[in-house]
Amino acid sequence: MVVSLRLEATCHHTGARAGELVTPHGTIPTPAFAPVASIGVVKTLSPKELKGVGVGVLLANAYHLMLRPGLEVISALGGLHRFMAWDGPVVTDSGGYQVFSLARLVRVGEEGVLFRSHIDGSQQSLSPEAAVALQEGLGADIMMVLDQPTPYGAGRDAVATAAQRTGRWAERCLGARQGRGELWAIVQGGTFTDLRRESASHMASLGFPGYAIGGLSLGESREVMWGMVEASVAPLPPASPRYLMGVGSPEELVEAVARGVDLLDSALPTRIARNGSLFTRRGRINITNSRFQGRESPVEDGCPCYLCRTYSAAYLSHLFRTGETLGLRLATLHNLTFLQRLMAEMRMVIQDGGFSRFREGFLAGYRPTDEAVRLARRRRAGKGE
């Protein structure tokens, strides 16, 4: 069974789309958000809890799983779905971003990359063919080609070289497929509009069934990021799924969907939850702030998550102030519930023809993180979790 996107409705004012992404392990209503389970787990939560808050798809990372526990272990135990006890769809990133951001890089060339593990310093290698074999061995529903992302601020020549190499690697990845799982391309090109368009056009010419947009949300301004998303989407086949990698704040999800993105992932919602930062319709709050110490009401009135149905904001503040693990779990449940509800609401208003009004109202009421703070955090943070 192949992966396919069934489009149901499109907002003609913005390009936002609603549909269903059909996979061998279930159908994903789109637009959709995938929590990050880099090493086969969404930190602090079980698969049952994830299903309970509406999560329909997870993102795992081939780089991390290759290093530990290793493909041999996972294969011997029945593949990644069985290993992590998750029966829903799984997307795997090839590990290109992690190789270039976490590992100690030894050499990159046309054949692939040589690097040293960030865990134990052991020498490793990854080629386009090996990246595909690794992801097929894991049993992913949707796999990514091996790409060469570039850091924020890289010069035009370096970005062009990496984007062109990513295109050649994509061709080799296609040739390496054994027919297990669906392979999607990754559009690169940094923050250069023409390079983005060239990369997207080349990937589209290769006939991939789906397309990811990589190399963004690394420190560029929101204005630049959305310009690059638009440049990346424009040359892609309209009927193919579009996946924006590494974007996960509520206001960014709304803006990405407005630009025709169907699938997103990010470690941000779960990472900030463990630091006491929670999403609300008015913006993020930090539960360790003194104003929550005596608050009897929940974190957000009307939220159906277990935290808000059961506990006061004061209790969650107490858990964080005393270092109790339950606090991390409750905050993570809340943030993922918030995002799954947001995606479901966007899907509904796209189908009903009211997405433009919804977008305007949501963004008017939501106070995003200060841009300077956001950029500083993005430049420090990695994408894995």
Q: Give me the active site residues, please.
A: 93, 265
Strand 17-23 and strand 26-30: the pairing is antiparallel
In the block, tokens 């990514």 appear at 144
210 burial via Cβ count (<10 Å: 0-12, 13-18, 19+): buried
Residues 6+ apart with CB under 8 A from 29: 18, 19, 20, 56, 344, 347
DSSP string, 160-216: HHHHHHHHHHHHHHHHH--SSSEEEEEE--TT-HHHHHHHHHHHHHTT-S-EEE-S-
Largest CA distance in the chain: 61
> What would the two tokens of residue 383 be?
């994408």
Distance CA 230, CA 233 (A): 5
Residue 235, SS3? coil
Please report, for residues 71, 107, 283, 353, the alpha-carbon distance to residue 145 in angstroms, rounded to integers and kept in the order given. 18, 19, 35, 35
Residue given tokens 């990405």 in the structure block: 256
CA distance readout (Å), 138 to 94, 172, 180:
11, 19, 10
3-state secondary structure of 280: strand
Backbone angles phi, psi at 290, to 5 degrees: -60, -25
